[in-house]
Amino acid sequence: MGGDHAPDVVIAGLDIAVVRHPKAIFHVFGDAARIEPMVRKFSRLTGRVVIHGTTEIIADDLKPTAALRLRDASMRRAIDAVATGQAAGIISAGNTGAMLALAKIVLKTMAGIDRPAMAAIGPSAKGDVVMLDLGANMVCDARNLVEFAVMGDMFARTVLGLPNPTIGLLNVGSEEMKGDETLKRAAEALRASPIGAQFHGFVEGHDIAGGTVDVVVTDGFTGNVALKTGEGALRLVGDLLKRVFTASLAARLAYLLAKPGLNRLREWLDPRRYNGAVLLGLNGVVVKSHGGTDAEGFAHAVDVAMDMIDNNFNQRIKEGLRLHAGRETLAVDSATAPLAPIAISQ
Q: In 3D, which of 309, 251, 258 has the Cα closest to residue 284?
A: 309
- What structural domains does the chain harbor? 1-107+272-311 (3.40.718.10), 118-269 (3.40.718.10)
Strand partners, 343: 322
Judging by DSSP bridges, how do beta strands 117-124 and 199-203 pair with one another?
unpaired
Question: What does residue 335 show for φ and ψ, rounded to 5 degrees?
Answer: -95, -5
Listed in sequence order, the DSSP H helices in the chain are: 8-20, 32-40, 64-67, 74-83, 96-106, 142-155, 181-191, 205-210, 220-245, 249-269, 295-310, 313-320
pLDDT computed for residue 235 by the predictor: 83
Q: What is the pLDDT along the chain (346 residues), one digit of tens a residue?
A: 988 898 999 999 999 999 999 999 999 999 999 999 999 999 999 999 999 999 999 998 899 999 999 999 999 999 999 999 999 999 999 999 999 999 999 999 988 788 899 998 988 888 899 999 998 899 999 999 999 998 999 889 888 889 999 999 999 988 888 889 999 999 999 998 888 999 999 999 999 999 999 999 999 999 999 988 888 888 888 888 889 888 899 888 888 888 888 888 777 777 778 788 899 999 999 999 988 899 999 999 999 999 889 888 888 887 766 542 234 444 334 333 333 333 333 3
C-alpha distance from residue 286 to each of 88, 118, 232, 250, 309 (Å): 9, 10, 25, 49, 10
Give the full edge-to-edge strand order of the sheet including 117-124: 89-92, 285-288, 277-280, 117-124, 127-132, 215-217, 167-170, 199-203
Please name which of 141, 236, 151, 230 lies closest in space to residue 195, comparing C-alpha atoms: 151
Residues 6+ away with beta carbon under 8 Å from 224: 134, 135
